[in-house]
């Protein structure tokens, strides 16, 4: 999963990062731009698996190969 942290005081947001890196960048932003204010805002979560986009395509390819094998075994 990827996380994007938004500042509660201004329009700042981090890039899509791992949880600990995003939190670190948000804390650093507050330290530099909003001293004395505890970090706030909200966190956006991207639940998509970045490497899992070909699952359906793989299923279709396996089905086609199985159909081709079944057709070639038929007399």
Domain range for residue 51?
Answer: 2-73
User: β-pairing, 42-46 with 2-6?
Assistant: antiparallel
What is the tally of structural domains in the chain? 1
Q: Looking up tokens 């981090």, which residue turns up?
A: 14
Number of residues that this document lists for the chain? 75
pLDDT in tens, 35-71: 999 999 999 998 775 555 566 778 888 888 888 888 8
Determine contact, residues 16/4, Cβ cutoff 8 Å: yes
Region of poorest pLDDT, from 16-20, 26-30, 57-61 = 57-61
Determine contact, residues 59/14, Cβ cutoff 8 Å: no
* Confidence (pLDDT) at 30: 97
Is this structure's pTM higher than 0.75?
A: no
């Amino acid at each position: 999963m990827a996380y994007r942290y938004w500042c509660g005081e201004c329009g700042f947001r981090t890039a899509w990062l791992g949880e600990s890196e995003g939190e670190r960048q948000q804390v650093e932003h507050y330290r530099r731009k909003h001293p004395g204010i505890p970090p706030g805002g909200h966190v956006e979560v991207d639940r998509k698996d970045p490497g899992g986009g070909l699952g359906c395509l793989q299923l279709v390819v396996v089905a086609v190969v199985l159909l081709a094998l079944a057709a070639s075994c038929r007399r």
